[in-house]
A and B are shown apart, each in its own frame.
Chain A
Amino acid sequence: MKKTTIESVIKMKGVTKSYWLSNGVEVPVLHGIDLDIKKGEFVALMGESGGGKSTLMNIIGFLHALDAGEYFLEGEELGRAQDDFTLSFIRNRKIGFIFQQFNLVTKLTALENVALPSFYAGKERVERLARAQYLLNSMGMGDRSHHRPSELSGGQQQRVSIARSLVNDPEIILADEPTGALDSQTGKEVMKILSEFKDRGKTVVMVTHDAHVAAYADRIVFMKDGLVLDHDYKLKK
């Protein structure tokens, strides 16, 4: 049998993070996270509220800096990166974000929202809009491209948000409770799209409370009190 080497896309060693209250009190949130996510994996992060899932997602997405430990992104140690250019470049090209509340810019149309990351990537307008339209079409949203977010349903807004996360063709998709604001039927449709990302070669990391949603993932990482308790948590049938 031929042995294949699967490369780590996200690898963390001993990552810690604390928040500081205004009265100077330190609140430790992550106590030393080790994490290894391979290319093309679909990983769900589960755990109780306050367990550090969102903080870990923010660190993975370079929205927060870690306090200590190491973070390798595609083999490169970038946990110490602090300059705005590097951080914004990674957020723009390497990572696509999908949020629970969609986080679309309200005054822009669906098409403009999808195209926005490629604006910051310096792509030409024609190219941006063509790619955005293609992605909206692929999400079944082609006829809604000139609608503003307020004119779209929750499920439609999340599709726009998913299309936006793909526009710069990033390696990693980070989804924070992507079905949290949707009804179960729409949630299933969204999860179907996310689970197809594997076929596009994307690595997906998703935070969820919902076992049905987590079931779409290849692997579940279970967190509690700022630590990873189980790297391959099995859901009870």
Chain B
Amino acid sequence: MKYELLIMAAKSLKANGARTALSMLGIVIGVATVIAVVGIGVGAKQAIEEQYKNLSVNTLMVMPTRGNAASTRVSEEDVPFVLGNSTLIEKGTAMVMGNDTVTYAKEEVSGSVVGGQASVFELLNLKLLGGRTFTEAEVSARGNLVVLGYTVAESLFDDVPVDGVGQFVTVGGRKMEVIGVLEENGSSVGPMTPDDTAYLPYSTAESRVLGTKAQKLLMFHAQSPDVVMLAQDELTQLLRENHRLRDSVADDFRIMDAGSMVSSATESTDTMSFLLTSVAIIVLLVSGIGIMNVMFVTVAERTKEIGIMKAIGAQRQDILLQFLLEAVVLSMVGGLLGVALGYSVLPFLGDYGAVISAEGGLLGFGFSVVVGIVFGFIPALKASRLDPVDALRSE
């Protein structure tokens, strides 16, 4: 019996095709917008996860305080001191970073140059595609060795990166042997994009390639994610001790933990998603007001019909249900069309980082049904409460 009410609702909507289509349009656009913005939001979140995937949450990075790069005492000497005295930090490396060119035959690539200790690959979670990484002995011996990021090797060696292993390239004017090539990575953290980077032994990079233009930083791993905050406090104390800073003197370094970096980036995309979704939901609410308006007009137009229905025995709830169903059918059909439109448009929003996600469709469609129920209720209630004699008299 209820399905017949649905058919009656559909018939009534069909009878006023243009009006139905126009009021549905708001819902269609609203739902499609929700799908698009949720797709962009989810895409942004995934992009951040991808970007930071190399950083485990127990990573701590030490950098010179801003504007203090030249005179900083943040150096490779801090690493053995910290590792030797810390109870909470298990691994660490000093790094120098800069930009330079890498050339092979007539090919030249501009990219990042990073100098690190032997543990740098493990700390940055970098995997080898071929060859090997340098040892601590080679770091100490200032070996002219380089491990190339995937894109750098791909550019230099005709799209076959592993061919680079064993070849000699020039990094910042110095001839170096390629001992390894890294797997494609895709991540980026600030200036570090592993695929575009050439990794040298720390001493080689600092003294022979980058010189004073190098930016130094230290990277440590706390024993577990649970002790990151405690490890950060301990690291601060140890670095102050090693830098011989008096209590009255401010830190000459700053420490960033990966968890905070990721969460602050995620927070900003969450805020963006929230704002965009709110706008889309406002569109849906406005379209709900459109539905309410249309339903009021429908009730006014069909007052006599309501009078007839009451005279032949329809209860208030029958009439309420019938008009409510019309609003809900209107919003549901609009919602479904909106879902179809939203998911057809989404692939074209790839440039904005949008990805296809079920959340957008569920949220948009669910909300459209709620809008239909909420905004259809008052006109339906009005219809159900009409006096039968007054309703029968209307024309």
Contact = CB atoms under 8 A, between A and B. Distances in A.
Given A107-B15, A119-B1, A119-B4, A91 B312 contact: yes
Contact of B312 (A85, A106, A116): A116
A84 B388 contact: no
Interface in A158-177: 164, 168
Contacts of A64: 389
A117 B313 CA distance: 6
22 contacts: A63-B388, A63-B389, A85-B315, A88-B310, A88-B314, A89-B313, A91-B310, A91-B312, A92-B312, A92-B313, A92-B314, A97-B311, A103-B304, A103-B311, A104-B308, A105-B305, A105-B308, A105-B309, A107-B12, A116-B312, A120-B312, A120-B313
A125 interface: yes
Interface string B310-337: 1111111110000000000000000000
B325 to A, nearest CB: 14
Contacts of A117: 312-313
Interface of B is mostly: helix
Nearest to B385: A84
B392 A120 contact: no
A168 B388 CA distance: 20
B11 interface: yes
Given A107-B11, A107-B12, A125-B4, A91 B318 contact: no
A117 B310 CA distance: 10
Interface string A43-65: 00000000000000010010110
A211 interface: no
Given A107-B11, A119-B1, A120-B318, A164 B388 contact: no
A97 B310 CA distance: 11
Chain B CB within 10 Å — which of A85, A88, A99, A122 has the most?
A88
Contacts of A63: 310-311, 388-389, 392
B1 A122 contact: yes
Interface string B292-313: 0000000000001101111111
A93 B392 CA distance: 20
A2 B256 CA distance: 111
B311 A61 contact: yes
Contact of A120 (B12, B315, B388, B389): B315
B12 A91 contact: no
Chain A CB within 10 Å — which of B12, B308, B392 has the most?
B308
A84 B310 CA distance: 10
Contact of A84 (B15, B312, B316): B316
A81 interface: no
A91 B389 CA distance: 13
Nearest to B317: A84
Contacts of B318: 120
A174 to B, nearest CB: 10
A121 interface: yes
Interface in A92-137: 92-93, 97, 99, 103-107, 116-117, 119-122, 125
- Which 7 pairs show the lowest CB-CB distances between chains A and B? A92-B313, A117-B312, A88-B315, A120-B313, A91-B313, A63-B388, A103-B308
A116 B311 CA distance: 11
Given A58-B389, A97-B312, 18 more contacts: A63-B311, A63-B388, A63-B392, A64-B389, A88-B310, A91-B311, A91-B312, A92-B312, A92-B313, A99-B392, A103-B304, A103-B307, A103-B392, A106-B305, A117-B313, A120-B315, A164-B312, A168-B313
B125 to A, nearest CB: 67
Nearest to A64: B389
A159 B29 CA distance: 48
Contacts of B15: 107
Interface string B1-32: 10010000001100100000000000000000
